[in-house]
Amino acid sequence: MKKYRRILEKKRSSLNSDQTNIEIQANLETNIEILKDLFKDCSDVVFRPFFAGKLKACILFVDGFIDTAAIEVSGIKQILNEVKEKEISAEVLMEQIISLSAVEETSKLDEVVTNVLKGNTLLLIDKAKKALIFDEKGGQRRGVGEPETESAVRGPREGFTEILRVNTALIRHRIRSNRLKIISRDIGEETNTGLAILYVEGLASPELVEEVLNRIDRIKIDGVLDSGYIEEFIEDSPWSLFPQIQNTERPDTVAANLLEGRIAIIVDGTPFVLIAPATFWQFMQASSDYYNRFHISIFLRLLRIILMFFALELPSIYVAITTYHQEMIPTTLLFSIAASREAIPFPGFVEALIMEISFEALREAGVRLPQIVGQAVSILGALVIGQAAVEAGIVSAPMVIVVSITGIASFTMPRYNMAISIRLLRFPLMVLAGMFGLFGIVLGTLVILTHLCKMRSFGIPYFWPLAPMNPQSLKDIFIRVPWWAMDQRPDQTVKEDTARQTDHLKPSPKLGEEGSPT
């Protein structure tokens, strides 16, 4: 007994020890004593010994992790009813008596510990050197609901949850093909967080799949609590402000990207799924772009791109023009701006900085407060503070209008991580505008564009298909052509099966009149 305790203590102190594969003992009391020692001061771990005729056994689980009703009905009660006076083996229990859908067996004590902490139920049997694993997870969990960060007027209402297998099922429900592959990993020495890598065989290149697996396998960390941990470990340019991996709460978005040869990474415990590789233009696309008719999608997408430019450069342009280039302003408008700024004690740059920081502070306060109160604080706070600042002569009315338009423009971006990057870049551009005028804005914009053109995401150019130019793939960048015209998958991610659909799918009223199928 002391020998096993010493081995287990060494195992816990050194995860890379050669003694991790400790066998389950034939004596039930010995196994229970060893496991109770391992789970010392873990009050949520339940040991439930019971007798069924001559059979001695023990159920082991974490309270709150399992579906106790299923275990009782299909597990314990079946054993008690079927096993009378005869002795029975673990194999016979698993194959002939227990009717639970997911039952496995193990002979390793470390696998027993791992499975219990993952939410599985363990059945230890006296005189058997194996334990049965019941995968009947349950407890109080959030159900599938509408995504909160990516709402859409038209489209599916399902969003990911914090349960890994629920999320993989949502993807499998949309891609019902045996080519959809799911590779499992456990990340985190202490948390043992489950992780799934999804891809469609034949669409995702083997080199990309291997690269993603290599980057994930080299992660050695004590714990992973969200997909954001994984994102920072596997991105190409960690010092860049721009996100290089897309995250989403929508299963339909993940399914669409898998069909374009990309890879999805699902982390247990978070509803945000990672998609790689990602390009800049993916962050400007909303899921509803593909569900509305293409005329509406083209208008909204062009509007979104124009507003992205406003969110990035409008305050800088205002500062540059009012400070250095007044001759560019029409005379009537110039007189109006000059009159509103007559009593303002600060230069344009300081004025813009005050308003932008105040607006960002109100936005952050609105996020941290309860939802109903937060919306009221952010909206009323902006109105009240803006009006008070104008009346007090701290900022001018045109500056309040510029900052308001900038804030509204930043809210139109579909992806939060790209929107916050644009908001951060706004400040260095304002500094350049205050120092050098329009020349500074042009210089800063060229630096940003050069950086975007140099970046890559898992080997894919970040600014593709503009840099390098690919006219075929421009069908889904600034505009969204009709579905019957998007006949090819992106050639940067799909190398072989590039055809998305058959030819001649454009609808026509003549179909059916000349013997063609309707």
Confidence of residue 508 (pLDDT cuts 50, 70, 90): confident
* Same domain, residue pair 64 and 33: yes
The mean per-residue pLDDT over the stretch 19-28 comes to 72
Is the pLDDT at 348 greater than 60? The verdict is yes
Confidence tier at 119 by pLDDT (50, 70, 90):
confident
pLDDT value at 74 more than 70:
no
For the ranges 119-123, 262-266, 371-375, the lowest mean pLDDT is seen at 371-375
Average of per-residue pLDDT values in the chain: 84
pLDDT, average across residues 370-396: 73
332 CA to centre of own chain: 50
- Among 244, 278, 312, the domain-final residue is 278
Domain end (from 461, 477, 498): 461
- Count of CB atoms situated within 10 Å of the CB of 119: 20
pLDDT bracket for residue 295 (50, 70, 90): very high
Q: Is residue 159 situated within a structural domain?
A: no
446/315 same-domain check: yes
Q: Which amino acid is at 149?
A: T
Note the pTM of the prediction, 2 decimals: 0.85
Judged against a pLDDT cut of 90, whether residue 343 lies above it is answered with: no
Residues 116, 45: contact at Cβ < 8 Å?
yes
How does strand 193-200 pair with strand 246-248?
unpaired
Is-contact 50 59, C-beta < 8 A? Answer: yes
For residue 140, tell me if it sits in a domain.
no
Structure tokens given for 56: 């001695």
Last residue of a domain, one of 278, 304, 319: 278
How many Cβ atoms are within 10 Å of 132's Cβ, its own excluded? 24
pLDDT higher at 280 or 471: 280
Assess whether pLDDT exceeds 70 at residue 470.
Answer: yes
pLDDT > 70 in the chain, percent: 84
The pLDDT tens digits of the residues spanning 263-277 come to 999 999 999 999 999
30 and 122 belong to one structural domain: yes
Q: Is residue 341 part of a domain?
A: yes
Residue 512 counted as domain residue: no
Judge whether 155 lies within some domain: no
Please give the tally of structural domains in the chain: 3
Interatomic CA distance for residues 153 and 182, integer angstroms: 31
Q: In terms of Cα–Cα distance, which of 49, 46, 53, 116 is closest to 79? A: 53
Same domain? 214 vs 67: no
Residues 306 and 266 in one domain: no
Backbone torsions φ then ψ of 429, nearest 5 degrees: -65, -35
Q: How far is CA 376 from the centre of its chain?
A: 28
Query: Are 14 and 110 contacting, i.e. CB atoms less than 8 angstroms apart?
Result: no
Q: Do the beta carbons of residue 116 and residue 62 sit within 8 Å? A: yes
In a domain? residue 383: yes
On whether both 245 and 309 belong to a single domain, the answer is: no
Packing angle of the helix pair 371-391, 348-368 (nearest 10 deg): 160
Confidence (pLDDT) at 14: 43
Residue 181 domain flag: yes
132 has pLDDT over 80 = yes
Q: Are residues 124 and 198 in the same domain?
A: no
In percent, how much of the chain has pLDDT > 90?
Answer: 41
- Does any domain span residue 491? no
Q: Do 171 and 125 fall within a single domain? A: no
Same domain, 374 and 438: yes
At 251, list the tokens. Answer: 């299963």
Specify whether 260 is located in the same domain as 350: no
Residue with the larger pLDDT of the pair 395 and 98: 395
Does the pLDDT value for residue 408 go beyond 80? Answer: yes
Distances (CA, A) of 272 to 73, 164, 190, 241, 247: 35, 11, 21, 20, 6
Domain containing residue 267: 164-278
What pLDDT score was predicted for residue 18?
Answer: 42
| CB of 95 closer than 8 Å to CB of 103 | no
The yes-or-no verdict on residue 474 having pLDDT over 80 is yes
pLDDT tier, 498 (very low <50, low <70, confident <90, very high otherwise):
confident
Taking 70 as the threshold, does the pLDDT of residue 170 lie above it? yes
CA–CA–CA angle 516, 507, 303 (5° rounding) = 170
Looking at the fold, whether 324 and 456 belong to one and the same domain comes out as yes
Between 298 and 152, where is the model more confident? 298
Tokens linked to 397: 């009315």
Residues 300 and 449 in one domain: yes
Segment of 47-61, 140-154, 164-178 carrying the highest mean pLDDT: 164-178
Maximum mean pLDDT: which of 54-58, 103-107, 202-206: 202-206
State residue 228's pLDDT score: 93
